[in-house]
Chain A
Amino acid sequence: MRHWRITGALAALAIVCAGKQYYRDATAGELGWLIAPVARMTGWVTGHHFGYVTDVGWVSRGAAFVIAPVCAGLNFALAAFLALAIVWLPAMRSAGAVVARLAAAAGVAYLATLAVNTVRIALAVELHLGPTAHELLGIAVYLGGLCALVALARRRHARAG
């Protein structure tokens, strides 16, 4: 049983390393699966329209704001995936359970990233912060979102027994 948990932890770590490698060279277009929905939701929240500009990202001229690859939120997605995989390690008791839990962690991490990154970018659009304050805002929103996600996952895991 224990070896499946070790397998699950190593697989999660390998996926995170592969994700980091992918993120290093990814263009705005390649990250569209992550940025486009966030740009659309940020548009709904702030009222500013974001349009795709090749090799730049999603741009709002009205808000004077660019959602570039660095804003994609993939680091949050990978951290959320890793944290969920750790929380769900005790349930990884077979090969099937490892695959199911990692797939669930990936799906939940993706949806959480869309929500948390929309909040982060909408706040950044409205607050017009300087570079350091913008970075701090991102760290605060990401850490808060990550803690909330893990708290929910732990509660659900405890309820499921």
Chain B
Amino acid sequence: MRALVDRIAWLAVPLAAYLVVTLLLPALHGATRRAGYLHHAGLVALGCIAVLAIAVAGVALARKGGRP
């Protein structure tokens, strides 16, 4: 489990940068009161989960294939 986390830890940088720019800064500017913000936040969360799932699957497949 730890090895898996180490392999995909770098994804925290692009995901965090995207979340800061598209959700956090607008929220600090009062965007949470705007219609559509929660819908967009949900889609962004879905995208982040998909990226993590693809990365986990990629690491698992690489291990299964015997690659380091």
Q: Which residues of A contact B (CB under 8 A)?
A: 16-17, 20, 24, 75, 78-80, 82-83, 86-87, 132, 135-136, 139-140, 142-144, 146-147, 149-151, 154
Contact = CB atoms under 8 A, between A and B. Distances in A.
A139 B39 CA distance: 13
A112 to B, nearest CB: 11
B40 A135 contact: yes
A135 to B, nearest CB: 6
Given A79-B14, A143-B47, A147-B11, 8 more contacts: A16-B20, A20-B21, A79-B17, A86-B17, A132-B39, A143-B14, A147-B14, A151-B10
B25 A16 contact: yes
Given A146-B14, A150-B10, A82 B21 contact: yes
Contacts, number: 64
Interface of B: 10-11, 13-15, 17-18, 20-22, 25-26, 29, 39-40, 43-44, 46-48, 50-51
Residue among B11, B25, B26, B50 with most chain A CB within 10 A = B25
Nearest to A139: B47
A143 B17 contact: no
Residue among B21, B48, B51 with most chain A CB within 10 A = B21
A142 B18 CA distance: 9
24 contacts: A16-B25, A20-B21, A20-B26, A20-B29, A78-B21, A79-B14, A82-B17, A83-B14, A83-B17, A83-B18, A87-B13, A132-B39, A136-B47, A139-B44, A139-B46, A139-B47, A140-B47, A143-B15, A146-B14, A146-B17, A147-B51, A149-B14, A150-B10, A150-B14
